[in-house]
Structure 1
Amino acid sequence: MKTITMIINNQEWQVNLYQNDTVESLINRLPLTIQMKELHGNEKYHYLDFQLPIMSESIDQIETGDLMLFGNNCLVLFYESFSTPYQYTKIGYIDNLKNIKNLVGSKDVKVTFQVNK
């Protein structure tokens, strides 16, 4: 399984990636540093200035650490688990999320995604 690195406040996590055209297109645009906005106390999001191919599907259950695409240009990092009626394109997920809620906090946060060397 391919991985990329996500960096928030100098702390790194490995994002396990799914195999799809969205992921391949995103990898080709890395490294990427974005300001992710807070939403609903369970996710951070950022509207990219480019579009990615979509493979939307009904998810039903979001898990802490899921990284997904909403529409064709909204990157979403979930830091709480919950059920949802919305459709997303799966990008990846992060294992070992100790303290991620405390790290991302309730405000906007700068996030860097980079290809592993």
Structure 2
Amino acid sequence: MRDHKFGLLTHAHAGGTRGLTRAFGLLFGLAAVSEANASPLSSARAAPESSSITAQQAASRIWMTVRDTRFEITLANTQAARDFAALLPLSLDMPDLNNNEKHAELPKALTTNVTRPGTIHSGDLMLYGSQTLVAFYVTFPSSYSYTRLGRVDDPAALARLVGSDDVRISFSKQ
């Protein structure tokens, strides 16, 4: 027979019981060697990948505390966001501007990658210029340029908590 699935067994059958035993022995031997070689490598690779993903997720998240409420922020994948995270922990008195944002000067200038987003969303954390941190709590159209730092994951309560008065906002890695 020329059937590729059964080719080995056909040849074994042609050689009698001895050929069949040899064929099965070869198959089981190959399976055992393959399993022995694959298992350690697979498990050795899985641990660093999963811990690497966990480390990346942790590094891409920070916390913002407004009054007594914590908000989780997902950082943008930018040098500016990494520079900002390196400043933490940080507490800033942030005055209101235009009833839609809180702003404060950072202790040092950050790397910029300026874009014009067009629409600012409630929960956006941006950098204006190279040193002004801006936390937006209202969605609105804008022609201004910013460097994206991150975004509050669930900004629904943000506007109510910050209000239009000055507020102290703390940023931390934990």
Does the pair score TM above 0.5?
yes
Residue 92 of structure 1 is aligned with which of 106, 126, 150?
150
User: How big is the shift at 1:99?
Assistant: 2.3
DSSP 3-state at the match of 1:33: strand
User: How big is the shift at 1:28?
Assistant: 1.0
Matches within 5 A, 1:1-117: 1=57, 2-116=60-174
Separation in 2 of the partners of 1:67 and 1:97? Answer: 11
Query: Which shifted more, 90-99 or 102-111?
Result: 90-99
Q: Which amino acid aligns with 2:140?
A: F
User: How big is the shift at 1:98?
Assistant: 2.8
Q: Point out where structure 2 has 5 or more consecutive residues left out of the alignment.
A: 1-56
Q: 1 or 2, which has the higher strand percentage?
A: 1
**Length-normalised TM-score, structure 2:** 0.65
Separation in 1 of the partners of 2:155 and 2:75? Answer: 16
Separation in 1 of the partners of 2:102 and 2:142? Answer: 15
Residue correspondences, number: 116
Separation in 1 of the partners of 2:66 and 2:127? Answer: 19
Deviations, residues 69-90 of structure 1 (Å, cap 9, x unaligned): 0000000000000011111000
Deviations, residues 42-100 of structure 1 (Å, cap 9, x unaligned): 00000113100100011100001000000000000000000111110000001222321
Paired-residue identity, %: 32
Greater Rg over alpha carbons, structure: 2
User: How big is the shift at 1:31?
Assistant: 0.2
User: How big is the shift at 1:113?
Assistant: 0.3
Q: Which amino acid aligns with 1:8?
A: V
Higher relative contact order (CA 8 A, sep 6+): 1
Separation in 1 of the partners of 2:74 and 2:167? Answer: 21
Separation in 1 of the partners of 2:74 and 2:107? Answer: 24
Q: 1 or 2, which has the higher helix percentage?
A: 2
Separation in 1 of the partners of 2:101 and 2:73? Answer: 16
Separation in 1 of the partners of 2:145 and 2:155? Answer: 24
Separation in 2 of the partners of 1:49 and 1:78? Answer: 20
